[in-house]
A and B are shown apart, each in its own frame.
Chain A
């Protein structure tokens, strides 16, 4: 019998998340011959749309239809999964704000191992799975083994697996709604409050000068605006700059900020965390300036400069102004 792996399919308003076609790729890295089942929870007609779509890619689709699952409150989803999934299952989730909410507790309730933020999977040897993770903000990579003999929940980093567009699943949709069981929880979803729009819409900018923690002090942010002005660019930033309230949230690039698609992206004093890079789309020309030659940003940048931005930015500004 082929080994069974389950992939939880995130979806919103009838559209499957990008991770939906990535998790099956991760599953096949665990067991090349895996029979991979998509688990889709929700309520109403959107749910059927997603289930039918996933049947093209996955070997089977388990549909769990329940009003309590209309919004994917991880606490409710966890109860449904614990009731429905076989013991010792391998369950794959995206390592995003939903997977972080669900994965660790699900692993405890299923009495299985949990591995977070998996960036690659090397394979299985004697019931032990070997995966690759990153630690220390991406500054060190590690091989990690996971004893999956009693099942496992694995959160897979979004974007690291190329989506499977082959549509070679040919699965059937199985309605598992009757097995969902008691879905009452002590956390109740209320509503989504949308992020506020700011005065600049960086999602439309063609050139961005983006500033990170390397700027060190609020007073130094001014020099970034001077450079942007000289270049005819807009200013964006990484999360710590917003956390410190030096710039408004609408200028934050990343998974919990804006998704930008400029032609040119200047990363100044930004280390290059995956949450930051997750907000940069459209394959821009990336220039990174960082005083640490080993900063992960240099792996994704086109052009790198090892320099102290506090010295480099004013000099570059002056040179551009003199053109």
Chain B
């Protein structure tokens, strides 16, 4: 099975305090720790496990700048066979549809049976997979937490409300967005990264892909972020201050009053 996994380099929200810059047009990017979008790691792991079982290859692709190459390398250290970087000044400022348009062109350059994305990334939009599928006219299933490979089709479980699982048959080629917890992504050490450090990763721009520069980028985006802002937090929590002993004493009073201690 030929599998393409779409990945994204994102600020690691479990490692960073996200601050808005003084102009309000971006977050403070200095000193940010970046990593592969959490959901994408599960997608790449799943792709590798499928290929281990039924044969084929895994290609990872990202739309980004030079720095995005590091996430491709990381996923290749996990076991993906190939990486492709889609990069062009014309891609900058793309909305979800723009990104899906670029990825669609990359899909059409290959011969993939299965395309995977993470269920969502740093914008929390959960949109690129579904858009890509619709553009390709492939069937789509989101939030997949189980995949069983069959003949020309897959059996997939979608994780829905309450942790229940919606089982579906889906014909290939198809697009799946992957939910966390589907597997346990393997650990990648420094040695693994070193092994793929010198592997050639091709870069493709708009003209290589045959993407009309006017159909992507900021100019084509119907959805645009105007600014970041700090919302009026309202009351918020009463922050307990003082020494640890004082804080604990206050907290215990509260817990007693609210029925939190038995």
Contacts and interface: CB of A to CB of B under 8 A. Distances in A.
Contacts of B230: 141
B256 to A, nearest CB: 9
A124 to B, nearest CB: 14
A231 B261 contact: yes
Nearest to B173: A186
A145 B223 contact: yes
A193 B122 contact: no
Interface stretch (B138-146, B194-202, B207-215): B138-146
Contacts of B126: 95, 100, 104, 116-117
A259 B162 CA distance: 8
B262 A285 contact: no
Nearest to A274: B124
A191 to B, nearest CB: 5
Interface stretch (A33-41, A50-58, A159-167, A299-307): A299-307
B165 A192 contact: yes
Contacts of B22: none
Interface string B114-134: 000001101111111111011
A192 B251 CA distance: 43
Interface in A249-265: 249, 252, 255-259, 263-264
A233 interface: yes
Nearest to A17: B161
B258 A256 contact: no
Given A142-B229, A187-B140, A195 B237 contact: no
A43 interface: no
B89 interface: no
B233 interface: yes
B79 interface: no
A230 B233 CA distance: 33
Nearest to A306: B239
A319 B252 contact: yes
Contact of B260 (A95, A114, A207): A207
Given A142-B225, A187-B168, 18 more contacts: A95-B126, A102-B130, A104-B127, A113-B222, A140-B18, A140-B20, A142-B229, A144-B224, A147-B222, A186-B174, A187-B170, A207-B260, A207-B262, A257-B163, A287-B260, A294-B17, A294-B19, A307-B244
21 contacts: A97-B159, A100-B119, A101-B140, A104-B131, A105-B131, A105-B140, A106-B134, A136-B13, A136-B18, A137-B124, A140-B18, A145-B226, A187-B170, A187-B174, A193-B164, A231-B261, A232-B261, A285-B258, A298-B237, A305-B251, A319-B252
